[in-house]
Amino acid sequence: MTPGARLQAAAEVLDRIAAGTPAEQALLGWSRGARYAGSKDRAAVRDHVFDVLRRWRSTAAQGGGESGRARLIGLLRQQQVAPDSLFTGDGHAPAALTAEEQAGGRLPEGAEARDLPDWIDALLTDSLGEEAAAAAEALRERAPVFLRVNGLRGDLAAAQDALAGEGIETRTHPLASGALEVTEGARRIAQSQAFAEGLVELQDVASQAVVEALPLAPGLRVLDYCAGGGGKALAMAARTGGEVAAHDADPRRMSDLPARAKRAGARIQAVATPKGVYDLVLCDVPCSGSGAWRRAPEGKWRLTPERLDELTKVQAGILDIAARLVTPGGLLAYATCSMLAVENAAQIEAFLARHPGWTLERQRQFLPGDGGDGFFSAQLRRPA
Ligand SMILES: C[S@@+](CC[C@H](N)C(=O)[O-])C[C@H]1O[C@@H](n2cnc3c(N)ncnc32)[C@H](O)[C@@H]1O
């Protein structure tokens, strides 16, 4: 496909998304009907679509309209690429710009320029103060790819060597000692030997930092109460060297976990109904995902105040149930990939008010400016 044809395909996918189809489904629909498209074409179309989703409002302003075509014109203008050079009407390229399109478009302002819905823009400012604008700006860019080196299979140097041998270049990152940032060859990871043998896992660096901050030691009884795909359960098992119990309200979300654990050489025990008590219970709760909107930008536009309210209630409920599973003197760890105070510090304050005697030992808000996703973590100690 020519660069112009890729833009035309992206415009069509964006129109489907604007009409309500989830982005992944819209991309899949296009790709099924596009047998002529090679893997590089598919990746390029996907990149255009996600670049626009991160900048949904500002690209519409600069492109002078709400269609996929207009937003792509806006995106090219932001990238300092003359739309005329690609909207040529040749072959499968989009039609040349009309006089109206040539003259259209304006600079975005305020929340529109920060590419946030107004209500989230206000909430982010309430939550982060002066750091809000930089955080919003970071969410407009692509996210770096990070790997976690699995200490059960090898060390950092061994992983870097193995990856370099397969054309994947990496560098270490100050946020987590076991993290590698991929600087070249990210698309080769899934097919690499290092990945197949469990030497590395895909995991954001802030996610890794949250686990590294936990006081994990061999012999500790650990429960991952919201295990999902098991990224953090695997990271915790690598640190303790022992078994980690994994639970999720929706056990289907843990379906890949046995295969991932086998690959990683980790011991994970799935538990349908946790009983008894643990030394450490991690609650990596469902959240707005606002810290990860670089990766999943649709969330910015689909989140509603009602859904956020619902999520904060679920989060509080999980904390209350999980608190009962912590042994006296043990630790309850809370994590979200959110930058909104209602899901983070306010949630912890409310927990402490509901549970006298518990103490807050650490709390940290990670921002995309730190390198990884926006993340929050808190460690709460149960009275002995
Ligand atoms: C943020 S994801 C977990 C991601 C995972 N820890 C990881 O690192 O890959 C949150 C998970 O919480 C689960 N969940 C939602 N409500 C829950 C509840 N009431 N109790 C336990 N798990 C719940 C969801 O099914 C989802 O898998």
DSSP letter for each residue of 91-143: TTSPPPPPHHHHH------HHHHTTS-HHHHHHHHHHHGGGHHHHHHHTTSPP
Q: Tens digit of pLDDT per residue, the chain (384 long)?
A: 999 999 999 999 999 999 999 999 999 999 999 999 999 999 999 999 999 999 999 999 999 999 999 999 999 999 999 999 999 999 999 999 999 999 999 999 999 999 999 999 999 999 999 999 999 999 999 999 999 999 999 999 999 999 999 999 999 999 999 999 999 999 999 999 999 999 999 999 999 999 999 999 999 999 999 999 999 999 999 999 999 999 999 999 999 999 999 999 999 999 999 999 999 999 999 999 999 999 999 999 999 999 999 999 999 999 999 999 999 999 999 999 999 999 999 999 999 999 999 999 999 999 999 999 999 999 999 999
| 251 and 343 both lie in a single domain | yes
d(CA 380, CA 335): 11
Q: Say what the pLDDT of residue 200 is.
A: 98
| 122 and 158 both lie in a single domain | no
Q: Say what the pLDDT of residue 372 is.
A: 96
Cβ(173)–Cβ(181) below 8 Å: yes
d(CA 329, CA 384): 4
Looking at the domain assignment, is residue 292 inside a domain?
Answer: yes
Q: Say what the pLDDT of residue 26 is.
A: 97
Looking at the domain assignment, is residue 47 inside a domain?
Answer: yes
| 307 and 384 both lie in a single domain | yes
Question: Residue ranges for the binding site?
Answer: 248, 284
Q: Say what the pLDDT of residue 66 is.
A: 96
Q: Say what the pLDDT of residue 124 is.
A: 98
Establish whether 226 is a catalytic residue.
no
Looking at the domain assignment, is residue 207 inside a domain?
Answer: no
Looking at the domain assignment, is residue 283 inside a domain?
Answer: yes
The active-site residue out of 226, 283, 287, 337 is 337
| 58 and 77 both lie in a single domain | yes
Q: Say what the pLDDT of residue 338 is.
A: 98
Looking at the domain assignment, is residue 325 inside a domain?
Answer: yes
Q: Can you give the CATH number for the domain in which 170 is found?
A: 3.30.70.1170
Looking at the domain assignment, is residue 29 inside a domain?
Answer: yes
Q: Give ligand 1 pocket residues (Cβ under 6 A).
A: 225-232, 248-250, 253, 284, 286, 314, 318
Q: Which domain, by its residues, includes 186?
A: 144-202
Strands laid side by side in the 278-284 sheet: 267-270, 243-246, 222-224, 278-284, 326-336, 375-381, 359-366
Residue with the nearest Cα to atom 1 of ligand 1?
286
| 224 and 343 both lie in a single domain | yes
| 301 and 254 both lie in a single domain | yes
| 135 and 165 both lie in a single domain | no
How many domains, in total, are found in the chain? 3
Looking at the domain assignment, is residue 208 inside a domain?
Answer: no
Q: Can you give the CATH number for the domain in which 347 is found?
A: 3.40.50.150
Determine the longest span between alpha carbons in the chain, in angstroms: 74
Looking at the domain assignment, is residue 360 inside a domain?
Answer: yes
**CA distances for 70 relative to 1, 73, 74, 192, angstroms:** 21, 5, 6, 39
Q: How far apart are the first and last CA of the chain?
A: 65
- pTM for this entry: 0.95
| 10 and 93 both lie in a single domain | yes
| 84 and 225 both lie in a single domain | no
| 257 and 362 both lie in a single domain | yes
β-sheet bridge partners, residue 360: 380
| 10 and 154 both lie in a single domain | no
Among 203, 212, 226, residue to substitute to test ligand 1 (most atoms within 8 Å of Cβ): 226
Residue with the nearest Cα to atom 6 of ligand 1?
227
| 58 and 184 both lie in a single domain | no
Per DSSP (E only), the strands in the chain are 145-149, 169-173, 176-184, 200-202, 222-224, 243-246, 267-270, 278-284, 326-336, 359-366, 375-381
